[in-house]
Amino acid sequence: MPVETPVLPTTELLLQGLPDPRPALPDQECPRRVAWQLDLLLLGIEALDRGASEAMLSTVQEMELDPVIRGRLHLWRLRCTNPLRKLNQRRNLTLSEAKALTLLTCALARRLTVLIRQLLLAAEQLEGQQLSLDHHFRLSDYCERFRTHFRKRMNPKRERLLSYQQDEALNGLALEILNQLLFCTGTAGPQRLWASLFSGEHL
Protein backbone atom coordinates (compact mmCIF):
# COMPACT_ATOMS: atom_id res chain seq x y z
CA MET A 1 0.00 0.00 0.00
CA PRO A 2 1.49 3.39 -0.96
CA VAL A 3 2.18 5.87 1.82
CA GLU A 4 1.96 9.64 1.43
CA THR A 5 5.47 11.05 1.03
CA PRO A 6 6.48 13.72 3.60
CA VAL A 7 7.00 16.98 1.72
CA LEU A 8 8.71 20.27 2.46
CA PRO A 9 6.59 23.29 3.53
CA THR A 10 7.02 25.03 0.15
CA THR A 11 5.91 21.95 -1.73
CA GLU A 12 3.04 21.36 0.67
CA LEU A 13 1.78 24.90 0.08
CA LEU A 14 1.84 24.30 -3.66
CA LEU A 15 -0.07 21.04 -3.37
CA GLN A 16 -2.66 22.64 -1.11
CA GLY A 17 -3.74 24.75 -4.09
CA LEU A 18 -5.54 21.61 -5.27
CA PRO A 19 -8.26 20.67 -2.77
CA ASP A 20 -8.73 17.10 -1.61
CA PRO A 21 -11.71 15.37 -3.25
CA ARG A 22 -14.99 15.14 -1.38
CA PRO A 23 -15.97 12.69 -0.07
CA ALA A 24 -12.52 11.68 1.11
CA LEU A 25 -10.81 8.85 -0.74
CA PRO A 26 -10.15 5.55 1.07
CA ASP A 27 -6.54 5.44 2.29
CA GLN A 28 -5.90 8.72 0.42
CA GLU A 29 -5.45 6.80 -2.84
CA CYS A 30 -6.71 7.98 -6.22
CA PRO A 31 -8.89 5.93 -8.59
CA ARG A 32 -6.89 4.14 -11.27
CA ARG A 33 -8.50 6.26 -14.00
CA VAL A 34 -6.64 9.30 -12.60
CA ALA A 35 -3.29 7.66 -13.39
CA TRP A 36 -4.52 6.71 -16.87
CA GLN A 37 -5.64 10.26 -17.66
CA LEU A 38 -2.51 11.96 -16.33
CA ASP A 39 -0.20 9.51 -18.09
CA LEU A 40 -2.06 10.05 -21.36
CA LEU A 41 -1.68 13.83 -21.09
CA LEU A 42 2.04 13.47 -20.42
CA LEU A 43 2.30 11.15 -23.40
CA GLY A 44 0.71 13.88 -25.52
CA ILE A 45 3.31 16.35 -24.27
CA GLU A 46 6.07 13.92 -25.21
CA ALA A 47 4.61 13.69 -28.71
CA LEU A 48 4.59 17.49 -28.99
CA ASP A 49 8.07 18.10 -27.62
CA ARG A 50 11.02 15.85 -28.40
CA GLY A 51 12.80 17.27 -25.35
CA ALA A 52 9.87 16.60 -23.03
CA SER A 53 11.65 14.01 -20.89
CA GLU A 54 14.31 16.50 -19.81
CA ALA A 55 11.74 19.30 -19.57
CA MET A 56 9.74 17.21 -17.11
CA LEU A 57 12.72 16.77 -14.81
CA SER A 58 13.79 20.40 -14.98
CA THR A 59 10.22 21.57 -14.35
CA VAL A 60 9.95 19.30 -11.30
CA GLN A 61 13.06 21.03 -9.91
CA GLU A 62 11.86 24.54 -10.81
CA MET A 63 8.47 23.97 -9.18
CA GLU A 64 10.05 22.31 -6.11
CA LEU A 65 8.02 19.15 -6.67
CA ASP A 66 11.08 16.95 -6.21
CA PRO A 67 10.11 15.87 -2.65
CA VAL A 68 7.18 14.06 -4.32
CA ILE A 69 8.61 13.26 -7.77
CA ARG A 70 12.07 12.05 -6.84
CA GLY A 71 13.90 11.90 -10.15
CA ARG A 72 13.55 10.20 -13.52
CA LEU A 73 13.03 6.63 -12.29
CA HIS A 74 10.43 7.66 -9.74
CA LEU A 75 8.54 9.70 -12.36
CA TRP A 76 8.47 6.62 -14.59
CA ARG A 77 7.16 4.51 -11.72
CA LEU A 78 4.42 7.02 -11.00
CA ARG A 79 3.35 6.96 -14.63
CA CYS A 80 3.34 3.17 -14.53
CA THR A 81 0.50 3.26 -12.00
CA ASN A 82 -1.55 3.66 -15.18
CA PRO A 83 -3.23 0.22 -15.28
CA LEU A 84 -3.34 0.20 -19.09
CA ARG A 85 0.42 0.25 -19.54
CA LYS A 86 2.28 -2.88 -20.63
CA LEU A 87 4.39 -2.55 -17.50
CA ASN A 88 2.35 -1.20 -14.63
CA GLN A 89 2.75 -0.77 -10.90
CA ARG A 90 0.03 -2.59 -9.00
CA ARG A 91 -0.77 0.34 -6.78
CA ASN A 92 -2.67 3.60 -6.94
CA LEU A 93 -1.33 7.14 -6.92
CA THR A 94 -1.51 8.90 -3.59
CA LEU A 95 -3.17 12.31 -3.48
CA SER A 96 0.20 14.09 -3.21
CA GLU A 97 1.57 12.18 -6.20
CA ALA A 98 -1.51 12.89 -8.32
CA LYS A 99 -1.43 16.57 -7.38
CA ALA A 100 2.25 16.84 -8.27
CA LEU A 101 1.65 15.18 -11.66
CA THR A 102 -1.29 17.52 -12.27
CA LEU A 103 0.82 20.60 -11.55
CA LEU A 104 3.64 19.25 -13.72
CA THR A 105 1.30 18.50 -16.63
CA CYS A 106 -0.22 21.96 -16.56
CA ALA A 107 3.15 23.70 -16.34
CA LEU A 108 4.45 21.77 -19.34
CA ALA A 109 1.27 22.36 -21.34
CA ARG A 110 1.42 26.09 -20.59
CA ARG A 111 4.87 26.28 -22.19
CA LEU A 112 3.46 24.67 -25.33
CA THR A 113 0.34 26.83 -25.56
CA VAL A 114 1.22 28.50 -28.87
CA LEU A 115 2.03 25.19 -30.56
CA ILE A 116 -1.10 23.51 -29.19
CA ARG A 117 -3.29 26.33 -30.52
CA GLN A 118 -1.58 26.21 -33.91
CA LEU A 119 -2.12 22.47 -34.27
CA LEU A 120 -5.76 22.66 -33.22
CA LEU A 121 -6.38 25.47 -35.72
CA ALA A 122 -4.66 23.42 -38.45
CA ALA A 123 -6.82 20.40 -37.60
CA GLU A 124 -9.96 22.53 -37.81
CA GLN A 125 -8.92 23.95 -41.18
CA LEU A 126 -8.10 20.52 -42.58
CA GLU A 127 -11.46 19.20 -41.46
CA GLY A 128 -13.22 22.13 -43.13
CA GLN A 129 -11.37 21.40 -46.37
CA GLN A 130 -11.96 17.64 -46.00
CA LEU A 131 -8.23 16.98 -46.06
CA SER A 132 -6.31 14.38 -44.08
CA LEU A 133 -3.87 15.23 -41.30
CA ASP A 134 -1.01 14.30 -43.64
CA HIS A 135 -1.51 17.64 -45.38
CA HIS A 136 -0.02 19.47 -42.39
CA PHE A 137 3.53 18.34 -41.61
CA ARG A 138 3.69 19.41 -37.95
CA LEU A 139 0.28 17.98 -37.11
CA SER A 140 1.05 14.75 -38.95
CA ASP A 141 4.36 14.45 -37.10
CA TYR A 142 2.64 14.95 -33.73
CA CYS A 143 0.05 12.27 -34.49
CA GLU A 144 2.70 9.83 -35.69
CA ARG A 145 4.76 10.33 -32.54
CA PHE A 146 1.64 9.96 -30.39
CA ARG A 147 0.72 6.68 -32.09
CA THR A 148 4.26 5.38 -31.66
CA HIS A 149 4.40 6.25 -27.96
CA PHE A 150 0.93 4.84 -27.34
CA ARG A 151 1.62 1.51 -29.03
CA LYS A 152 5.00 1.15 -27.38
CA ARG A 153 3.72 1.71 -23.86
CA MET A 154 0.08 0.67 -23.68
CA ASN A 155 -1.22 -2.89 -23.48
CA PRO A 156 -3.23 -3.55 -26.67
CA LYS A 157 -4.87 -6.60 -25.09
CA ARG A 158 -6.78 -4.52 -22.56
CA GLU A 159 -10.45 -4.34 -23.50
CA ARG A 160 -10.57 -0.58 -23.09
CA LEU A 161 -7.87 -0.16 -25.75
CA LEU A 162 -9.29 -2.47 -28.41
CA SER A 163 -10.92 0.47 -30.17
CA TYR A 164 -7.49 2.05 -30.74
CA GLN A 165 -6.07 -0.55 -33.08
CA GLN A 166 -6.26 1.62 -36.20
CA ASP A 167 -4.26 4.76 -36.99
CA GLU A 168 -7.42 6.79 -37.51
CA ALA A 169 -8.70 6.02 -34.02
CA LEU A 170 -5.37 6.95 -32.45
CA ASN A 171 -5.24 10.16 -34.50
CA GLY A 172 -8.63 11.04 -33.06
CA LEU A 173 -7.36 10.38 -29.55
CA ALA A 174 -4.26 12.49 -30.24
CA LEU A 175 -6.48 15.43 -31.21
CA GLU A 176 -8.60 14.92 -28.10
CA ILE A 177 -5.44 15.13 -26.03
CA LEU A 178 -4.52 18.43 -27.71
CA ASN A 179 -7.87 19.88 -26.67
CA GLN A 180 -7.41 18.57 -23.15
CA LEU A 181 -3.91 20.06 -22.93
CA LEU A 182 -5.27 23.43 -24.04
CA PHE A 183 -7.77 23.07 -21.18
CA CYS A 184 -4.75 22.93 -18.84
CA THR A 185 -2.97 26.08 -20.05
CA GLY A 186 -4.92 28.88 -18.36
CA THR A 187 -4.16 30.40 -14.99
CA ALA A 188 -6.75 28.10 -13.41
CA GLY A 189 -5.59 25.14 -15.48
CA PRO A 190 -4.38 22.99 -12.56
CA GLN A 191 -7.62 23.50 -10.63
CA ARG A 192 -9.75 22.71 -13.68
CA LEU A 193 -7.73 19.63 -14.56
CA TRP A 194 -7.75 18.42 -10.97
CA ALA A 195 -11.51 18.82 -10.65
CA SER A 196 -12.11 16.98 -13.93
CA LEU A 197 -10.08 13.99 -12.80
CA PHE A 198 -12.66 13.29 -10.09
CA SER A 199 -15.80 14.47 -11.84
CA GLY A 200 -16.38 11.26 -13.78
CA GLU A 201 -15.62 13.10 -17.03
CA HIS A 202 -13.16 11.53 -19.41
CA LEU A 203 -10.45 14.07 -20.06
Domain assignment present for residue 168? The answer is: yes
Domain assignment present for residue 73? The answer is: yes
Cis peptide before 23 (omega within 30 of 0): yes
Domain assignment present for residue 92? The answer is: yes
Domain assignment present for residue 11? The answer is: no
Domain assignment present for residue 137? The answer is: yes
Domain assignment present for residue 44? The answer is: yes
3-state secondary structure (DSSP) of residue 66: coil
Would you write out the chain's pLDDT as a tens digit for each of its 203 residues?
A: 554 555 555 777 788 889 888 666 656 789 999 999 999 999 999 999 999 999 999 999 999 999 999 999 999 999 999 999 999 888 999 999 999 999 999 999 999 999 999 999 999 999 999 999 999 999 999 999 999 999 999 998 899 999 999 999 999 999 999 999 999 998 899 999 999 998 854 43
Query: pTM of the full predicted structure?
Result: 0.90
Give yes or no for a contact between 71 and 138, defined as CB atoms under 8 angstroms apart: no
Domain assignment present for residue 7? The answer is: no
The CA distances from residue 136 to 5, 40, 64, 126, in Å, are 45, 23, 38, 8
Domain count, the chain: 1
Cβ neighbours of 9 (radius 10 Å): 7
Q: Which domain holds residue 99?
A: 27-197
Domain assignment present for residue 53? The answer is: yes
Question: In 3D, which of 191, 179, 178 has the Cα closest to residue 45?
Answer: 178
